[in-house]
Amino acid sequence: MTTPSQSGSGSQSSVGLDELFNRVNQLLGDPAPVASSTEEAAAEPDLHGTPANLKPGDAFIPRQPQNIRETGVSAALLESLIMKFLFQVGRSPMRGIAAQLKLSFKVIEPILKQLRSEKNIDLSGTTNTGDSEYVITDLGRERGKRYYEECTYFGATPVSLQDYIDSVNAQSIAGQVVTSEQLKAAFDGLIINQAMLNKLGPAVNSGRGMFLYGFPGNGKTSIAERVTDAFGSAIWMPRAIFVEGEVMRVFDPGVHEEVEEAQNSGLLDSNQVDRRWVKVKRPTVIAGGELTMDELEVTKNEISKICEAPLQLKSNCGTLVIDDFGRQTMPVDVLLNRWIVPLEKRYDFMNLPSGKKLKVPFDQLIVFSTNLEPRDLVDGAFLRRIPYKIEVPDPSVDEFRELFGIMSRVLKFPEKPECVEYLIQEHYLKVKRPFRLCQPRDLLLQVQNYCNFHQKPLEISNEAFDFAVSNYFSIM
């Protein structure tokens, strides 16, 4: 992001503003200089570093920055966020500005004072709680407009790329050990036999990658979705990253599940947590047959000028599931070539809109789920990089009966074992039809609709099963 100045020389203004805030910070008792946006762009991220305040074994908790330097970004960026916010809302109390940027009063106060001295903003009064209220001036509106034309983002202050990398290292999925009991708890409600658990356990603990293959309808996607639950813990994820002058959103409400932080949980008072970060369940990001190469690269909206993180970055410290592998619109070898280096080296190269490449962590369990035989899809060189290939088999007769009992209770059907036995004998064994794990649920839903249509109480019967089978398997 190039920072415009009143004179029109953006880069000179950015460096000059940073020098000014270095002097302000020194007056406030913080002698460490603020890195300019130029210096920040030149810094090479350390993929294997750990936060300075974090000891081995400590839980990672982002601490609220106490000054501009500790935010990890330049004063020029903070100024642009404030001006764009006020450009949109017109006026706001300091509390509102701090909440918008997710920073404390003490961090933004010197910037507000400087903006006021430059006649970009002014005090319009105080609120009922005694909070100073700021209003943007005509001069400031012009400045805010220029910032907004360069990039429309004015949300939570982004964190630096290095801070993000440190957080991934501290919360790495590779450092997690999953026990048999934890895996069983994660798969609660699914029919997973012990032999399958014995295969899945080591694959999950490897933190590398696995193929799940087998016939459709046997729960490959459900297994892949549940794998992350075995790791248990939540992680901290930044809302956005500032890298090479670009704002890149990482937190995505569509794929990340936010976890409510308990007040005064003991480790760190909630008021001391850096609110630029969000506590989420370890992510499970699923990409199906619609996956394109664009989703694996940084994309920039040409209207908003905001970048979106690729799927693999959003799934760091969690699981990335490539569902229906082999059915993507792109050729299989193109997709595989994209994963060769990350799977081997545990890092990826992120292509920025500017054309520059940056090395970033590739820290997730990647699961390829497919209905096809892996050896028919990929060559030996790639299979060697996926150490675990696990077939998800058809259920046994006993497992099929057990699943009918579970689904009957879920859908509020009185259990009728004799009708289930009729179904198995007449519509499966007699016609040599294979069992699939999805079928008890699907057939009972058909019976439910049958009963509702005929205004009958929910009840399993041979007649209802005949009806369900004739519909469900009519072209199968």
Question: Cβ(439)–Cβ(424) under 8 Å?
Answer: no
In this model, does residue 233 exceed pLDDT 50? Answer: yes
Give the angle subtended at the CA of 227 by the CAs of 226 and 231, to the nearest 5°: 110
At 476 the pLDDT is 64
In this model, does residue 425 exceed pLDDT 70? Answer: yes
Distance CA 81, CA 87 (A): 10
- The fraction of the chain above a pLDDT of 90, given in percent, is 56
Q: What is the mean pLDDT of residues 79-88?
A: 97
Residue 127 or 466, more confident: 466
Both tokens of 287, joined, read 């990409």
Both tokens of 41, joined, read 């762009």
- The fraction of the chain above a pLDDT of 70, given in percent, is 85
Residue 92, φ and ψ in degrees, nearest 5: -165, 145
Q: What is the pLDDT of residues 174-205, one digit of tens each?
A: 878 888 888 888 888 788 888 889 999 998 88
Beta bridge partners of 370: 213
In this model, does residue 457 exceed pLDDT 70? Answer: yes
At 48 the pLDDT is 52
Give the range among 63-72, 123-132, 331-340, 439-448 with minimum mean pLDDT.
331-340
Distance CA 36, CA 42 (A): 10
In this model, does residue 38 exceed pLDDT 60? Answer: no
At 128 the pLDDT is 85
Residue 310 or 375, more confident: 310
In this model, does residue 28 exceed pLDDT 70? Answer: no
Q: What is the mean pLDDT of residues 61-88?
A: 96
pLDDT grade, residue 464 (50/70/90)?
Answer: very high
Distance CA 243, CA 261 (A): 28
Give the range among 263-267, 293-297, 318-322 with minimum mean pLDDT.
263-267
Distance CA 223, CA 106 (A): 48
Q: What is the pTM of this model?
A: 0.80
In this model, does residue 9 exceed pLDDT 70? Answer: no
At 377 the pLDDT is 81
324 dihedral zone (left: phi>0; alpha: psi -120 to 50; beta): left
At 436 the pLDDT is 94
Q: What is the 3-state secondary structure (H, E, C) of the chain?
A: CCCCCCCCCHHHHHHHHHHHHHHHHHHCCCCCCCCCHHHHHHCCCCCCCCCCCCCCCCCCCCECCCCHHHHCCCHHHHHHHHHHHHHHHCEEEHHHHHHHHCCCHHHHHHHHHHHHHCCCEEEEEECCCCCEEEEECHHHHHHHHHHHHHCCCCCCCCEEHHHHHHHHHHCCHHHCCCCHHHHHHHCCCCCCCHHHHHHHHHHHHHCCEEEEECCCCCCHHHHHHHHHHHHCCEEEEECEEEECCEEEECCCCCCCCECCCCCCCCCCCHHHECCCEEEEECCEEEECCCCCHHHHCCEECCCCCCEECCHHHHCCCEEEEECCCCCCCCCHHHHHHHHHHHHHHCEEEEECCCCCEEEEECCEEEEEEECCCHHHHCCHHHHHHCCEEEECCCCCHHHHHHHHHHHHHHCCCCCCHHHHHHHHHHHHHCCCCCCCCCHHHHHHHHHHHHHHHCCCCCCCCHHHHHHHHHHHCCCC
> Up-side HSE of residue 201: CA atoms within 13 Å toward CB?
16
pLDDT grade, residue 77 (50/70/90)?
Answer: very high
Give the range among 19-33, 42-56, 275-289, 371-385 with minimum mean pLDDT.
19-33
Question: Cβ(184)–Cβ(232) under 8 Å?
Answer: no
pLDDT grade, residue 376 (50/70/90)?
Answer: confident
At 44 the pLDDT is 52
At 10 the pLDDT is 43
Give the angle subtended at the CA of 203 by the CAs of 200 and 207, to the nearest 5°: 135
Q: What is the pLDDT of residues 300-347, one digit of tens each?
A: 999 999 999 999 999 999 999 988 888 888 888 788 788 878 888 889
